[in-house]
Structure formats: C-alpha cells, structure tokens
Amino acid sequence: MTRDQLFEQIQRKRSYLCVGLDTDIKKIPPHLLNHEDPIFEFNRQIIEATSDLCVAYKPNIAFYEAHGPKGWVSLQKTLEVIPQDVFTIADAKRGDIGNTSELYARAFFEQMNFDSITVAPYMGVDSVQPFLQFPNKWVILLALTSNPGHDDFQMLSVVSHGKSYFLFEKVLEKSQAWGTPENLMYVVGATRSDYVERIRALAPDSFLLVPGVGAQGGSLEEISKFGMNSHCGLLVNSARQIIYASQGEDFAEKAREAALAVQQEMDRYLNDYLPA
C-alpha cells in the first residue's frame, strides 16, 4: 500500500486507528474455545466488527508463534479475512545480518503478504536495508518505545559531529537516508508524547506508528496535537482496550463500541489538527 492510499483511507474513514490483534487464548471468551481454531474465530469476529472504523491491523507475532505451527496457521487465516484496503503490520521486531534480514522480509512480505513489519535498528543499516527492497512494503523502525525500559538505551546522550542527541534521535536522523516517507515509518510510544515535537523536527513527513494509548495510558489528544502532519502521519494502535472490551458473548459488539469511541475522537482531532 502506498502512502497516498493510506492517507486516502484515513480521510474516508475519518480514522487513524490501528487495532492490535494481540489475541491471547487465556483472554478470549470461553464460548469460542469450542471452535476448531479459537484464535482465528476471535480475530474474524473482531475484524468483521471493526474494519470500517480502523485503517490498520497489527497482529503482534508473539501471540501466534507462541502456539507453534498452528499459531502460524491462525495468523495466515486472519490475514486472509482482513479487507484489501486495510493496512497490515507484522509486529515482529526483526533485524539481523543482511542475508538473514532478507529471509525475514521474504517470510512476512512474500509468504504472508503483510504491508509492513516492525524492525529493530540496533544492528544498523545493513540489517534494515533488505526489508526496504520490496515495492509498496514498509519498514517500521523502533525509535522511542512506549515501555519504561526505553530509558535504558533510547534516552542515552550521544555526541555526533559536535552535536548532542538522545540515541533515539540519532536513529531518526540517520535512518532518514535509508528509506523515504513512502517506505519507512517509526514506532513512537504514546507514553512519550512530550517528545513528539522533537521527533517531528527530525522526521516531518514520516508516518509514526503509535502504541501505548488505552491500556498503557498514553494520551491520544497529545499525540494527535503534536504529531499530525499533512498526511495525518499517525497510526495509533490500541489492542487490549478494544479487543478485550468484553469477555462475554457480546465481545465483538463491545469491541466495536470501544473502536467507535476512539474513531469519533480521531474524527475531531482530524478536524482540529490536520494541517490545511
């Protein structure tokens, strides 16, 4: 999917919501456990209930690979029921030496046909480049993550060419030359919306994938106010708050209500903060 197609979808749906498909067998409604593939059945109903309200789905791969081969089958079946116009994100946080990264890229882009994959920047340019060779596919590079441990490395001061940066700022600055706003996005946690203006100064045109609203307490308004660019430039992820809104037989209906509340808030922010 291209950047323009993504923006067109955002404008049409008045939403920049990404629903996280972090489907935990221990949290799905008990009545689904009789199905042959309860994880797929849960996802199928969540997708049916929310696909007009969101622009992306992000299955976190851990929730699938933890089940071995049958988890990969549930993931593949899930991808097949996501409507064509909805952006898909493999939250896999991969990255390795070049030839290995290329195989990760083939697995997620060719075998599974995801639109994008999250990648860790720690191994540098040759670990990221192989993912950027696929037309209309995206790398989403970890920049400033939402978890408390982001302090350990991402906030370290580094001096480069006489200028002082946080390490995550150096990731943003350096990686701008690896890709373009047409194939490279960044993960920025909603829990650190206080840094979004600095991030926008370094990556003004890039999309940001923003986890950390909902269950992790980040502010949708703050991230929208300071993070929106002329293409919206935001995909805000929410998983637990939406998909586990109810653990009863009404789970899909309640997930829709939770997604609708977020979409309506986003509609307001698109009116207020999208640059003309």
Ligand X SMILES: O=c1ccn([C@@H]2O[C@H](COP(=O)(O)O)[C@@H](O)[C@H]2O)c(=O)[nH]1
**Would you tell me which residues interact with ligand X (CB under 6 A)?**
20, 22, 60, 91, 145-147, 187, 189, 211-212, 214-216, 237-240
How near is the Cβ of 112 to ligand X at its closest, in Å?
17
As measured in angstroms, the least distance from the Cβ of 159 to ligand X is 26
Tell me whether residue 29 or residue 212 sits nearer to ligand X (CB atom). 212
Q: Which is nearer to ligand X, 147 or 264 (CB)?
A: 147
Q: Which of 160/218 has CB closer to ligand X?
A: 218
Minimum CB separation of residue 262 from ligand X in Å reads 11
β-bridge pairing 157-160 and 163-166:
antiparallel
- The one catalytic residue among 77, 93, 174, 225: 93
Is 93 noted as a catalytic residue in this protein?
A: yes
Query: In whole angstroms, how close is the CB of 1 to ligand X at the nearest point?
Result: 20
Nearer to ligand X, 215 or 274 (CB): 215
Residue facing ligand X at closest CB distance: 145
Q: ∠ at Cα 99 (94, 103), nearest 5°?
A: 55
Please list the active-site residues: 93
